[in-house]
A and B are shown apart, each in its own frame.
Chain A
């Protein structure tokens, strides 16, 4: 698929859902083009602690520390996830790497596309969000509307 169509730099959005795993597996079945580089991206939405002005300082600090621990844990998990995906794909002959970003999922994905100067963004049709019965995940739908590069939706 990739070579002639000019898809050498590929960004794959992962979120742990079966469809995103299929997106990664799909690439493994393609013949890598010369210089092909795949970037697996997982965007972690950090837990934010509200300002809580009426809560005593010590308690606020404790809550903030717990939120920080959760965030660090999520980031570490995401890093392991993207690195595992990259290692697996490297076995198929692609150059692959994993990137973890924090923030809003769509902004993180599009930021990764820009940073990698990607030629194509690959996403699973349905995400890991709470509403899984929709035929298209909200992030995939938003990416279709806002991405400046072709978007491949894997089902």
Chain B
């Protein structure tokens, strides 16, 4: 399968950055045209986004065929209509995050696009690092994951392994019971 038209809708937020990098990498690899689209909310001056859009297209478009589009209206619906009109093969879309208040975080735009798009959709969470730097960036996390337990030195996902935590909890509980034993000074009889 060859992608010939890749669409990167952007709101110029940091959440779109990782998606932009991935869209560019995929367009480069496939020799595809990259469409950079910004949708200005209704009742907003469309010229506000023009400069940012040109900047985004310039930074992403080195060595690529780039087409920019500035539309006005509801973002989700406009992105889907644009994809239909331009026969887009893939939409690369940034999403805001990973966990937590999930509905708000996925965003209504991303949700509309994923549901209604006529083509493949790749959603990229804001937290995804640049692919080239990903292995290096992951190394400390891996090292942390495989570190020995601080108590028993066995390999563990956590700083203190589950066995040692249970033991510590048990000992603490025993001490508490001992301290609260009836007849001890200061404790109820």
Question: In the complex the two chains form, what is the Cα distance from A125 to B118 in whole Å?
Answer: 11
Residue ID in chain B nearest A6 by CB atoms: B131
The reply to whether A144 and B128 form a contact with Cβ atoms under 8 Å apart is no
The digit string for B104-121, where 1 denotes a CB below 8 A from any CB of A, is 011000110011111111
- Report yes or no: B132 in contact with A145, Cβ–Cβ below 8 A: no
Contact A3 B29 (CB under 8 A): yes
Question: How many chain-A residues does the 8 Å CB contact rule pick out?
Answer: 29
Across the interface, do B98 and A148 meet the contact criterion of CB distance under 8 Å?
yes
Interface residue B28 (Cβ < 8 Å from any Cβ of A): yes
- Chain A residues contacting B138 (CB-CB under 8 Å) are 117
Contact A150 B123 (CB under 8 A): yes
A131 CB within 8 Å of chain B:
no
Query: Chain A interface mostly helix, strand, loop or mixed?
Result: loop
B-contact bits for A93-121, CB 8 A (1 contact / 0 none): 00000000000000000000000010110
Q: A1-38 interface mask toward B, CB cutoff 8 Å, 1 = contact, 0 = none?
A: 10111110000000000000000001001100000000
Q: List the A side residues contacting B1 at CB < 8 Å.
A: 26, 29-30
Nearest residue (CB) in A for B28 is A4
A135 within 8 A of B: yes
Q: B103 near A: Cβ within 8 Å?
A: yes
Q: Is A151 an interface position by the 8 A CB rule? A: yes
Q: Is the CB of A151 within 8 A of B131?
A: no
**Are B22 and A150 touching (Cβ within 8 A)?**
yes
| Contacting pair A150 B103 (CB below 8 A) | no
Q: In whole angstroms, how far apart are the Cα atoms of A5 and B23 in the complex?
A: 8
- Residues of B near A90 (CB, < 8 A) are none
B68 to chain A, nearest CB (A): 21
Closest to A26 in B: B1
The chain A residues found within 8 Å of chain B, CB to CB, are 1, 3-7, 26, 29-30, 117, 119-120, 125, 135-136, 141-142, 144-155
Interface residues, chain B, CB within 8 Å of chain A?
1, 3, 22, 25-26, 28-30, 95, 98-99, 102-103, 105-106, 110-111, 114-125, 127-128, 131-132, 134, 138
Taking A4-B29, A149-B125 as known contacts, 18 extra A-B pairs with beta carbons closer than 8 A to each other, sorted by chain A number, are A1-B29, A4-B28, A5-B25, A5-B131, A6-B131, A6-B132, A7-B131, A29-B1, A141-B111, A141-B114, A142-B102, A146-B102, A149-B128, A150-B22, A152-B121, A153-B121, A155-B119, A155-B120
Q: List 9 A-B contacts (CB under 8 A).
A: A6-B132, A144-B110, A146-B102, A150-B122, A150-B124, A150-B128, A151-B123, A154-B120, A155-B117
